[in-house]
Amino acid sequence: MTEMVLSPLDHIGFAVLDYRKMLHFYDAALAPLNMRRLLEKETSCGYGVDRPFFWISMPKEGRSVSKGLHVAFSADSEGTVEAFYAAAIGAGATDYGAPGGRERYPTGRYVAFVLDPEGNNVEAIFRGDQI
C-alpha cells in the first residue's frame, strides 16, 4: 500500500471584485493544468484536480479583496506551461513573463507568469525532475 504524503498547504482562497469575470478567467487559465470547478457555492468556487484547493469568492462585507497575490501552479511539462500562458492571455490576463527559463531559478525550471484581470500574479511552473 502506498503511503499518502500530504502537502502542508491544504488550500488557498481569496476574494475578487468581479466574481463572474474571474470565474471565466480561471476556467480558461486552469484548464491546461487539468484543473476545473469542483465545488461551487453561491458566493465561492473551488478549483482542483481531485479536490478543491484553489478558491475564489465574492468579498464579504467589511473584508477587502486580494491585490498582488502570487500563486504558482505545478505543470507536468513545458508544453503545459505554454498552454496555460496562452489560455490565460486569451482569457484576459496581462503578460508578466512569457514561458521560458529564468536566471534566478535553477536550471531546468520552465515558468510563465501572468497577471489575472484583477492584478494577481499567477504562475505555472514545470520543475522537471527537480524539487
Q: Please report the DSSP string for 69-121 in residue order.
A: -EEEEE-SSHHHHHHHHHHHHHTT-EEEEEEE--TTSPTT-EEEEEE-TTS-E
- Specify the pLDDT at position 91: 98
CA dist 58 and 40 (Å) reads 12
Q: How many domains does the chain have?
A: 1
Give pTM, 2 decimals. 0.89
Q: Specify if 101 maps to a domain.
A: yes
- Per-residue pLDDT band for 2 (boundaries 50, 70, 90) equals low
Q: Specify if 2 maps to a domain.
A: no
Q: Specify if 48 maps to a domain.
A: yes
Measured N-to-C along each axis, helices 78-90 and 19-30 cross at an angle, to the nearest 10 degrees, of: 150
Least confident of 62-66, 80-84, 115-119: 62-66
Q: Specify if 131 maps to a domain.
A: no
State the average pLDDT for the chain.
92
Q: Specify if 3 maps to a domain.
A: no
Q: Specify if 63 maps to a domain.
A: no
Q: Specify if 113 maps to a domain.
A: yes
Task: Label residues 26-52 b or e (16+ Cβ within 10 Å = b).
Answer: bbbbbebbebeeeeeeeeebbbbeeeb
Taking 60 as the threshold, does the pLDDT of residue 1 lie above it? no
Q: Specify if 100 maps to a domain.
A: yes
- Can you give the residue range of the structural domain that contains 37? 12-58+68-126
* Percent of the residues in the chain that have a pLDDT greater than 70, as a whole number: 94
CB 73 within 8 A of CB 125: yes
Looking up residue 92, the CATH number of its domain turns out to be: 3.10.180.10
Render pLDDT for 9-58 as a digit per residue (tens, 0 to 9).
Answer: 889 999 999 999 999 999 999 999 999 999 999 999 999 999 999 999 99
